[in-house]
Chains A and B, each alone.
Chain A
Amino acid sequence: MAFGDYPAEYNPKVHGPYDPARFYGKADVPFGQVKLGEIGAWLGRRNKTPNAVAGAVSRAWWRWQHKYVFPKRAGIAPFFQLTVASMTFFYLINYTKLKHHRNYKYH
């Protein structure tokens, strides 16, 4: 699978038009239904190659867009969500620097 190709499991004759938000591989148990004891095994079954991770992020992005951005009467929520997410992200990556601005010595 090179850059710009469809996933290997995608078959236009079976799946129809390509949906970038859809996972075409074999479905595992959803994360929400995994028992605590099985989390290790569940994580062990995940494909952790860079390609797969990028694909997962891409699908998540598309699903989020389909849910909040693409609907006909979409609201302002996706903008706020993006703002909050980016605020959190930048806070985390700058945390080592922001730490020095603490006002109290003891907590």
Chain B
Amino acid sequence: MFSRAALLTAQRPLTVAATRSAAAAAAPGGAIERRQRPEHPGKVRLGFLPEEWFQFFYNKTGVTGPYTFGVGLITYLCSKEIYVMEHEYYSGLSLGIMAIIAVKKLGPVIAKWADGEIDKIESEWKEGREAELKVLSDAIEAEKKEQWRADGALLLMEAKKENIALQLEAAFRERAMNVYSEVKRRLDYQVECRHVERRLSQKHMVNWITTNVLASISPQQEKETLNKCIADLSALALRVKSA
């Protein structure tokens, strides 16, 4: 109740155990018994006598046995002056009485204060630990979200690839169309060339034939033809008149 300084010494083996736990965790046996820090100390009676001492007597002598034994022993020691009551005895007695009064009066108050302190320290540590755990779990969540976002980036990449494929397709079709129209233009030109050529040659031939035919007609023939025409016309006129 007076001091928790001993707690500092208690924590030292804990840290040592923590540093060594990595090696221990790799043990093939698996289950390793670890010492747990108890919440409450061993029970005592009369301020310092262990409860186990009284339990040891209880089975043989009942409840009053240990007290009777203690009183008997003290009586024996004092009676035979094995325990000598010299001057230190009285100073010890007065010190003991003062200590008992101090414990009875201040004990509960100090115990309450010390319990509050140890709870505060523990809650602070626990808080820090839980805050650390929360930070780590948050980091894991964030990492998962980032991975999810990275998946989204993959999707985006797919879309971009598709887009580029579409663009390539469009360019390809445009060029194919270009080739088609260019070839068609050239072929049309060729066709047009053929047409012009044929027309010209036709015209030329017609001219040549006409000229030659006209040249081959003599004035005699022309005269005969004219006479024949006149005869035909008069024959026609007669037929019209008779009709």
Question: Contact residues of A with B, CB < 8 Å?
Answer: 12-21, 65-81, 83-84, 87, 91, 98-99, 101-104, 107
Contacts and interface: CB of A to CB of B under 8 A. Distances in A.
B40 A67 contact: no
Contact of B81 (A77, A78, A102): A102
Task: Say what secondary structure dominates the interface of chain A.
Answer: helix
Interface of B: 1-2, 4, 6-7, 9-10, 13, 16-17, 20-21, 23-24, 26-29, 32-35, 37-42, 44, 47-48, 79-81, 83-87, 92, 99, 103, 107, 111, 115, 118, 122
A87 B93 CA distance: 12
Contacts of B87: 101
Nearest to A106: B81
Given A12-B24, A13-B27, A73-B39, A99 B84 contact: yes
Given A14-B29, A73-B41, 16 more contacts: A13-B28, A16-B24, A16-B34, A17-B21, A69-B6, A70-B10, A72-B37, A72-B122, A75-B44, A75-B111, A77-B41, A80-B99, A81-B44, A98-B84, A102-B81, A104-B81
Contact of A73 (B47, B92, B118): B118
A94 to B, nearest CB: 9
A20 B34 CA distance: 12
B79 A76 contact: no
A14 B27 contact: yes
A17 B16 contact: yes
B17 A101 contact: no
Closest 8 CB pairs of A and B: A16-B32, A101-B86, A80-B48, A17-B17, A70-B10, A16-B24, A71-B41, A77-B44
Nearest to A75: B1
Contact of A76 (B1, B9, B35, B92): B1
